[in-house]
A = this chain, B = another copy of it.
Amino acid sequence: MQPYELSVAAAADAIRARELSPVELVDSVLDRLEQVEPHLQAYVTVMAEDARRAAREAERDVTAGRLRGPLHGIPMGLKDLIDVAGAATTASSRVRADHRAEADSTIAARLAAAGAVLLGKTHTHEFAYGLTTPQTRNAWDRDRVAGGSSGGSAVAVAAGAATFALGTDTGGSIRVPSALNGVVGLKPTYGLVPRHGVTSLSWSLDHVGPITRTVEDAALVLSALAGHDPRDPASLTTSGPSYRPGGAVELTGLRIGVPRNYYFDHVDPEVEAAVRRATAELESLGAQLVEVEIPMTRYIQATQWGLMVPEATAYHERTLRAVPELYQADVRILLEAGALMPAGDYLRAQRSRTLMQQAWARLLEDVDVIAAPTVPATAVRADDAAITWSDGTVEGVSDAYVRLCAPANITGIPSLSVPVGHDAAGLPIGMQLLGRPLGEPVLLQVGHAYEQTRPARRPAAV
């Protein structure tokens, strides 16, 4: 096994045991990155020399006995919405062509302090305003979409071109590309990971979280990210526990909700079958499956868009007026439409969110976790604009990909996407585990337990 194939946890163990040096690890991942990047285009910018320098420094620290923890010397990619001092934050947009971040975002600073080594900035849909990443290709099939908007991060991790990466998630943008590329993606509880220094799409829906190849890795990265930052007005003051899941794979006594509505409507049969097999696996580990009714489903789409559209427009107000021609047409049209939206529609979306939060809180009194598909279909071909369901219904690709993810953004509850197999074409399928606010330890425990029943995942063969 090459170092680039190692999980964060395995690499950290090897570095701690001095069986692997940060320089070897970073060199291996950079070599892999150079090999696959021409086919995948996961990165906006690769900072190979900076990464090699940081790896040498990490190695000196190891030699001197200054080990900073499990991310020490681990190479990572950051979605290019995340500020790193001195580097551009392009948001994959021409609007940011001359940008230089003056300071690290809170999370970039926390990862640097934890010893992680930045390989480069990964591609997003322009300003994260979409469920695909047009520049980037799926790690399992280059003719397929990467999913988005954190497609660069998910593809890099899936292909071994980063040991872990960070994404952002406003309507599924961590979980959608994670599911479509067969990696683990965690959208944490709203406010758990601070967003200071992260370009905003829609501040009441935006989350930052890890993309990794194992659930345990997601827990390790989350432990470095979580914690209060007064510079993010939504940042929770609750401090996180340790997120690393314990060794036990017993789920006895845990109640797992399986939706009887919404989450299995207009879902590809292969996706549904894989998710149901995975929930059966959780049952065999001792969990009790409970049918649950998802509340207020007819309000989900209107609430998601009603919140997102005006908040996105408010953020871009000045640049949209100054340099509209620098935006891609799809994003510009959405931003311009947002300026026409009346306050009353936004108000209704906010009221609907409050009611949905209360209804989901009641639902999550009955069960510890809800298990459901992350996205209703695997990765579509890059030129497909819509999905036709078996009843003849036609749904836009973005609408389909956001549909099952949006409730966790609206309500702020955590959601963990884990790979649960592949369809007949070899494309990955994701299951999301939704939990109570600050219920990340439970989600990670369940995801980890499930993962132990499966063969270890290795990077996609690009």
A313 to chain B, nearest CB (A): 6
Say yes or no for A343: interface residue by CB 8 A criterion.
yes
When each residue 322-361 of chain A gets 1 if its CB lies under 8 Å from chain B and 0 otherwise, what string results? 0000000000000000111111111110010011001000
Which B residues are CB-close (under 8 A) to A296?
Answer: none
Q: Would you call the interface of chain A mostly helix, strand, loop, or mixed?
A: helix
Residues in A192-235 with C-beta less than 8 Å from chain B:
233
Which B residues are CB-close (under 8 A) to A344?
Answer: 310, 313-314, 317, 338-339
Say yes or no for A311: interface residue by CB 8 A criterion.
yes
- By beta carbon, the residue of chain B nearest A358 is B233
- By beta carbon, the residue of chain B nearest A234 is B354
A350 to chain B, nearest CB (A): 9
A414 to chain B, nearest CB (A): 21
Complex: A340 Cα to B345 Cα, angstroms: 11
Complex: A450 Cα to B355 Cα, angstroms: 43
Q: When the two chains form the complex, which single residue of B310, B313, B339, B343 contacts A338, counting CB atoms closer than 8 Å?
A: B343
A347→B346 contact, CB < 8 A = yes
Q: When the two chains form the complex, which single residue of B343, B351, B354, B358 contacts A342, counting CB atoms closer than 8 Å?
A: B343
A305 to chain B, nearest CB (A): 12
A360 to chain B, nearest CB (A): 14
- By beta carbon, the residue of chain B nearest A346 is B343
Complex: A338 Cα to B310 Cα, angstroms: 17
B233→A310 contact, CB < 8 A = no
B354→A310 contact, CB < 8 A = no
A93 to chain B, nearest CB (A): 21
Which B residues are CB-close (under 8 A) to A345?
Answer: 343
Which B residues are CB-close (under 8 A) to A314?
Answer: 343-344, 347-348, 351
B233→A355 contact, CB < 8 A = yes
A84 to chain B, nearest CB (A): 26
- By beta carbon, the residue of chain B nearest A317 is B344
Residues in A396-419 with C-beta less than 8 Å from chain B:
none
Which B residues are CB-close (under 8 A) to A355?
Answer: 233
Complex: A202 Cα to B124 Cα, angstroms: 39
Which B residues are CB-close (under 8 A) to A317?
Answer: 344
Which B residues are CB-close (under 8 A) to A339?
Answer: 342, 344
Which B residues are CB-close (under 8 A) to A342?
Answer: 339-343
Complex: A171 Cα to B347 Cα, angstroms: 19
Interface centre among A343, A344, A345 (most CB of B within 10 A): A343
Residues in A354-376 with C-beta less than 8 Å from chain B:
354-355, 358
Which B residues are CB-close (under 8 A) to A311?
Answer: 347
- By beta carbon, the residue of chain B nearest A204 is B350
Which B residues are CB-close (under 8 A) to A340?
Answer: 342
- By beta carbon, the residue of chain B nearest A345 is B343
A356 to chain B, nearest CB (A): 11
Complex: A308 Cα to B351 Cα, angstroms: 15
Which B residues are CB-close (under 8 A) to A346?
Answer: 343, 346-347
Complex: A199 Cα to B313 Cα, angstroms: 32
Complex: A314 Cα to B351 Cα, angstroms: 11
Which B residues are CB-close (under 8 A) to A313?
Answer: 343-344
A232 to chain B, nearest CB (A): 11
When each residue 298-320 of chain A gets 1 if its CB lies under 8 Å from chain B and 0 otherwise, what string results? 00000000000011011001000
Which B residues are CB-close (under 8 A) to A347?
Answer: 310-311, 314, 346
A202 to chain B, nearest CB (A): 10
Which B residues are CB-close (under 8 A) to A233?
Answer: 354-355, 358
16 pairs, A vs B, C-beta closer than 8 Å: A233-B354, A310-B344, A313-B344, A314-B344, A314-B347, A314-B351, A338-B343, A338-B344, A339-B342, A339-B344, A341-B342, A341-B343, A343-B345, A343-B346, A346-B346, A346-B347
Give the top 3 A-B pairs by smallest Cβ distance, nearest first: A310-B343, A343-B346, A341-B343
Besides A338-B344, A339-B342, 17 other CB < 8 A contacts? A233-B354, A310-B347, A313-B343, A314-B343, A314-B344, A314-B347, A314-B348, A317-B344, A338-B343, A339-B344, A341-B342, A342-B342, A342-B343, A343-B345, A343-B346, A346-B346, A346-B347
Residues of A participating in the B interface, judged by any CB pair closer than 8 Å: 233, 310-311, 313-314, 317, 338-348, 351, 354-355, 358
